[in-house]
Chain A
Amino acid sequence: MDFELSEEHQMLRDMVRTFVDKELIPLENALGPNREITPDVMKGIQAKTKEMGLWMLDVPEEYGGAGLDLMSRCIIDEQVGRTSLFHWHWYPTFGPALRPVLLHCNEEQKQRFLWPVLRGEIRICFAQTEPDAGSDPANLRTRAVRDGDDYVINGNKRFITAAGESQYAQLMAATDPEKGSKGGITCFIVDLKAKGVTVTESWPNITGECLWEIALDNVRVPAANIIGEVGQGFELGQKFLTEARIKAHGARSVGAAQRCLDMMIEYSQQRVTFGQPLSDRQAIQFMIVDSAMEIRMVRNLVYECAWRSDRGEDIRDLSYMVKIQGTEMVTRVADRAIQIHGGMGVSRELPLEHFYREARAVRINEGATEVLRWRLARNLMRKPKRS
């Protein structure tokens, strides 16, 4: 066994770490309390990432992307997780959001959807969650019924990221509700300007982000807009969500927690109370040590999961573990960091409160940790026992 990253992965980590330290972290306070990144600032950041070759990281090279393996993307996400500039589930630093489901487009669909997304001409959001089917996507209520060359779709989607800025949605709908996740869900590209589609902005959530609702009332979608096969939607969506668990929920949690730990150590050595630095107090030392141990464990879990995924292994169960451990770990670490920083810890002047809010949201987004524990338990108990 070798616990060292490869030399290339180490260089990639160092490159992105320097980029985050020099270009992104200084922006945190320069952009004011709401850290609103203007299009001009984002263009400047993107020009640098393009020059570094860090562009469209998960897009295969044949489509002009970097075609990076999951380990490389986790390494990048871990470093980007150290800044409080972005929400955790998506950020545009490294190019347009592809949502890899689109890679399953046929040649005709690639011309209409994939290439325009890669060129930055259109955006396509991912719409799976519903009011009654969040962590339980197999139970989707949105129905798609075949009618001639079209499907007619009715239903509601909720908590959809960037629907208001998108022209289309990769929308999951039940084409055979009895089959559920076993061949009953299909992925459609839905034109958000089509008759019967209503897109409404929700109230901001704890992270300050406004998500969107999509109502579909007898919306006609051509059968030619089905991605993959009829009934393959759940499988396509799960691949995307499994990778998201490892990168956005695992690696980013590790990066955020590492920043919290670094700040805890530095501040506790500077801050003197009752004649002693905080770092001399056992209560503070235990918080720091517990955080360091937990970060190390989750980092190893993330790397193992990415490594196995890149070898082509089935990492569904491991990805559940990464999401559960990562998001719960960063919640604890951010909480300790805030406690050590006292009043400043909850100020927007520091990134800690951002990490805390993001961590709270991500424990629910794209699969609540309780659901994942339940799925994991089910999978563990049906596998043959090994000593």
Chain B
Amino acid sequence: MRIVVLMKPVPDPVAASERLRPDGRLDRANAPAVVNPNDEYALEAALKLVEAHGGEVTLLTMAPAAAPETIRKALAMGAHRGVLVTDTALEGSCVHSTATVLAAALAQLEFDLVLFGVDSTDGGAGTVPAAVAAKRALPYLSAAGKIEPDPAAGTVRVRRMTPTGYDLLEAPMPALVVCTQALGEPRYPSLKGIMSARSKEVRTFSLADLGLDDGSVGGAAATTRLTGTSTPPARGAARIIKDAPAEAARQVVDYLVEKWIIQ
């Protein structure tokens, strides 16, 4: 099986070094990057699938030029190669642009499945996978809790998680699947993987390589514009209930009802 996993470098939440530039955008150059945690779940799912069915995993990333450093972290987990789309004109891309570029990059690759993480920690639109599926006319299988491809039949079955259980979906391959954490904890990179990551291929595409021009995508063509940022208001003083458990529980319930949190 040929599986493409979308992988995004995001600022390391542990380093707590996320800062905004004067223009309100994230200062990526000065924040150590890690693989977007939800993308690790997609990669884990892909690695398990190729372990079971054979094949290879390709990482696809749209990011600044320094991204290979982060791509290698995912290669150390076991992915076979990386593809980076990078171009200074892509800075400030909106969802529409991002999806256009990723769809164009996918046109350069052969695949049976494209796996996405649910969302990224540095921007929560969560709509890129659906937009890419639409642009590439791929079956869109979201909220996957289990992925069962049948390479001989050329189909894939997905359990789509719902509040009450799951739906069972089937689609022809190639297909695009959005992966949830129910697919299993990502593995650690291995020492062997770390040592071999540098020797794995990371191909780089510019916009020109994808047949796109600067004006049609990226910051210049953004359909949305950042007009301001603000931090959440500071939390007020907490109300601490110290009564006996039964009385304390009653007061908590009353409070939740009063605030329309429960009825």
Q: Which residues of A come within 8 Å of B, CB atoms? A: 7-8, 11-12, 14-15, 18-19, 48, 51-54, 66, 68
Query: Are B73 and A52 neighbours in the complex by a CB distance under 8 Å?
Result: no
Asked if B190 is an interface residue, CB under 8 A from chain A, the answer is yes
What are the interface flags for B28-61 relative to A under an 8 Å C-beta threshold, 1 for contact and 0 otherwise?
Answer: 0000001000000000000000000000000000
Interface size for chain B: under 10, 10 to 19, 20 to 34, or 35 or more residues?
Answer: 10 to 19
Q: Which residues of B contact A7 (CB under 8 A)?
A: 69, 72, 198
Query: Are A52 and B189 neighbours in the complex by a CB distance under 8 Å?
Result: yes
Distance (Å) between the CB of A69 and the closest chain B CB? 12
Distance (Å) between the CB of B216 and the closest chain A CB? 35
What are the interface flags for B65-87 relative to A under an 8 Å C-beta threshold, 1 for contact and 0 otherwise?
Answer: 00001001100100000000000
Query: Are B191 and A66 neighbours in the complex by a CB distance under 8 Å?
Result: yes
A11, A12, A48 — most chain B CB neighbours (10 Å) = A11
Query: Are B194 and A8 neighbours in the complex by a CB distance under 8 Å?
Result: yes
Query: Are A11 and B188 neighbours in the complex by a CB distance under 8 Å?
Result: no
Query: Are B72 and A53 neighbours in the complex by a CB distance under 8 Å?
Result: no
**Apart from A8-B194, A11-B76, A66-B191, what are 17 other A-B pairs with CB-CB below 8 Å?**
A7-B69, A7-B72, A8-B197, A11-B73, A11-B194, A11-B197, A12-B194, A15-B76, A15-B189, A18-B188, A19-B188, A48-B188, A51-B188, A51-B190, A52-B188, A52-B191, A68-B191
Asked if B152 is an interface residue, CB under 8 A from chain A, the answer is no
For chain B, residues 191 to 221, give those with C-beta under 8 angstroms from any C-beta of chain A: 191-195, 197-198
Question: A8, A14, A52: which contacts B195 (Cβ < 8 A)?
Answer: A8
- Chain B residue with Cβ nearest A16: B188
Query: Are A14 and B192 neighbours in the complex by a CB distance under 8 Å?
Result: no
B191, B193, B194, B195 — most chain A CB neighbours (10 Å) = B191
Distance in angstroms between the alpha carbons of A261 and B187 in the assembled complex: 29
Query: Are B188 and A8 neighbours in the complex by a CB distance under 8 Å?
Result: no
For chain B, residues 167 to 202, give those with C-beta under 8 angstroms from any C-beta of chain A: 187-195, 197-198
Pick 20 A–B contacts, CB within 8 A, sort by A: A7-B69, A7-B72, A8-B194, A8-B195, A8-B197, A11-B72, A11-B73, A11-B189, A11-B194, A11-B197, A12-B191, A12-B194, A14-B73, A15-B76, A51-B187, A52-B189, A53-B192, A53-B193, A54-B191, A68-B191
Distance in angstroms between the alpha carbons of A87 and B192 in the assembled complex: 28
Question: A14, A18, A53: which contacts B191 (Cβ < 8 A)?
Answer: A53
Distance in angstroms between the alpha carbons of A151 and B104 in the assembled complex: 78
Distance (Å) between the CB of A15 and the closest chain B CB? 5
The 7 closest A-B pairs by CB, nearest first: A53-B191, A53-B190, A11-B194, A52-B188, A15-B189, A53-B192, A52-B190
- Chain A residue with Cβ nearest B197: A11
Question: B34, B187, B198: which contacts A8 (Cβ < 8 A)?
Answer: B198
A15, A18, A51, A68 — most chain B CB neighbours (10 Å) = A15
